[in-house]
């Protein structure tokens, strides 16, 4: 690890950003967090937290002022599959403004290293047509056919990071996350991702109830626990890897299996109803971890069952706090 101490996290009011700030503080760094909003579920651990709109150039200059060494640029307009397929123009415009302004402001203000959070949504749809998908290697992103809106913007900003390195010698790192989940993340309202949505549905369901799943449930994904994600971010930032890097697990599960794991943890027998009118995204997506093993000597390893248990218990406790579930009985507790 480098001896850097002054760190800016954008999107620090969001899911991954909030966890990252906590980790950086535990590791002894000085941290400034920036977002449009404060973290939703607990107070930030950041030394400074500023409410700024990073679509604006002046706000990006402000965020990067005062001798920041490293920037983790996590701010983005994003959500689950329903959200990112509904607002293509807004998402592309908002994110390209955040990322182009943040890159340039960081360079102008003398930031030493800039990490951009990209996504597995950059991978071409023509490689993701089967549930039994071949894991995606970093080089597969080109020729391009990414997710409309969100994925095209991520790919464009990946390229811009490359150009900044080539033209200005500016040190950039690019991570392609594959489905991150864990506690303290959005679990309802339309921006939640599948693990959080399914945990909420299972928590609110009674034994024997019907739970709705988007699509036919045979679509596949891999999932990374948020503690692995923030550990990986630290390792990537400290590394000499400036090519885009997958960060995810390579354990492929169907959405039906994901629901099965969660309902098993909750000790509930549920019936599934598939809604074929809802968006399901690509048919299958998995991460090839050859490059991350080579470049970082590490890969995410939290077993899905362990991460989902923590996530489920947290969402269940939030629903209880909100009075939407009765107080726990001893027999309800998950071992």
Query: Residue 137 carries which DSSP code?
Result: P
Cα–Cα distance, 108 to 170 (Å, whole number): 10
Does residue 258 touch ligand NAD according to CB under 6 A?
no
Residue nearest to ligand NAD (CB): 14
Name residues whose C-beta falls within 8 Å of residue 317's C-beta, 6 or more positions apart in sequence. Answer: none
Binding-site member from 8, 9, 16, 237 for ligand NAD (CB under 6 A): 16
Using CB under 6 A, pick the residue from 9, 14, 105, 157 that binds ligand NAD.
Answer: 14
List 49, 68, 70, 77, residue binding ligand NAD (CB under 6 A): 77
Check binding of 302 to ligand NAD (CB under 6 A): no
Q: Is there a catalytic annotation at residue 123?
A: no
The residues near 193 (Cβ < 8 Å, ≥ 6 apart) are 79, 80, 179, 180, 181, 185
Contact between 70 and ligand NAD by CB under 6 A: the answer reads no
- Three-state DSSP at 238 gives helix
Least distance from C-beta 37 to ligand NAD, angstroms? Answer: 5
For ligand NAD, which residue of 72, 114, 177, 225 counts as binding (CB under 6 A)? 177
C-alpha 9/C-alpha 126 separation (Å) is 34
Select from 165, 147, 167, 29 the least CA-distant residue to 85: 147
Where in 85-144 is the site for ligand NAD (CB under 6 A)? 94, 98, 117, 119
In the set 7, 8, 9, 11, which binds ligand NAD (CB under 6 A)?
11
30, 5 in Cβ contact below 8 A?
A: yes
Q: How far apart are CA 95 and CA 187, in angstroms?
A: 22
> Measured from the CB atom, is 82 or 205 closer to ligand NAD?
82
Range list of β-strands (E), 91-244: 113-119, 171-177, 180-181, 210-214, 220-221, 224-225
Nearest distance in Å: CB 248, ligand NAD: 9
Using CB under 6 A as the binding rule, whether residue 36 contacts ligand NAD is answered as yes
Beta carbon nearer to ligand NAD, 98 or 111: 98
Chain centroid, CA 201 distance in Å: 21
| Catalytically annotated residue among 150, 164, 181, 312 | 150
Sites of contact with ligand NAD (CB under 6 A): 11, 13-17, 35-37, 52-55, 74-78, 94, 98, 117, 119, 177, 179-180, 193
Catalytic residues, by residue number, are: 150
């Amino acid at each position: 690890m480098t001896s850097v101490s002054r760190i800016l996290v954008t999107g620090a009011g969001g899911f991954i950003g909030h966890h990252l700030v906590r980790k950086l503080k535990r590791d002894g760094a000085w941290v400034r967090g920036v977002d449009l909003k404060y973290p939703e579920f607990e107070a930030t651990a950041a030394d400074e937290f500023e409410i700024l709109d990073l679509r604006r150039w002046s706000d990006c200059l402000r965020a990067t002022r005062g001798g920041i060494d490293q920037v983790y640029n996590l701010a983005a307009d994003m959500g689950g599959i329903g959200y990112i397929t509904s607002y293509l123009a807004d998402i592309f415009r908002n994110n390209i403004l955040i990322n182009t302004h943040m890159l340039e402001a960081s360079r102008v203000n003398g930031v030493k290293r800039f990490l951009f959070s990209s996504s597995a949504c950059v991978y071409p749809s023509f490689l993701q047509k089967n549930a039994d998908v071949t894991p995606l290697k970093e080089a597969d992103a080109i020729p391009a056919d990414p997710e409309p809106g969100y994925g095209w913007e991520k790919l464009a900003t990946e390229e811009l990071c490359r150009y900044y390195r080539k033209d200005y010698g500016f040190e950039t790192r690019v991570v392609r996350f594959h489905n991150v989940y864990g506690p303290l993340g959005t679990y309802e309202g339309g921006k939640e991702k599948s693990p959080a949505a399914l945990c909420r549905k299972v928590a609110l369901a009674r034994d024997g109830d019907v739970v709705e799943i988007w699509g036919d449930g045979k679509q596949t994904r891999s999932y990374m626990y948020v503690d692995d994600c923030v550990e990986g971010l630290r390792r990537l930032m400290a590394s000499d890897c400036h090519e885009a890097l997958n960060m995810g697990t390579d354990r492929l599960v169907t959405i039906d299996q994901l629901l099965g794991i969660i309902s098993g943890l909750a000790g509930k027998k549920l019936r599934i109803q598939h809604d074929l009118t809802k968006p399901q995204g690509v048919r299958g997506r998995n991460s090839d971890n050859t490059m991350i093993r080579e470049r970082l000597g590490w890969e995410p390893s939290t077993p899905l069952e362990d991460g989902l248990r923590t996530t489920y218990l947290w969402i269940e406790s939030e629903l209880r706090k909100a009075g939407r579930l009765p107080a726990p009985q001893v027999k309800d507790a998950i071992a």
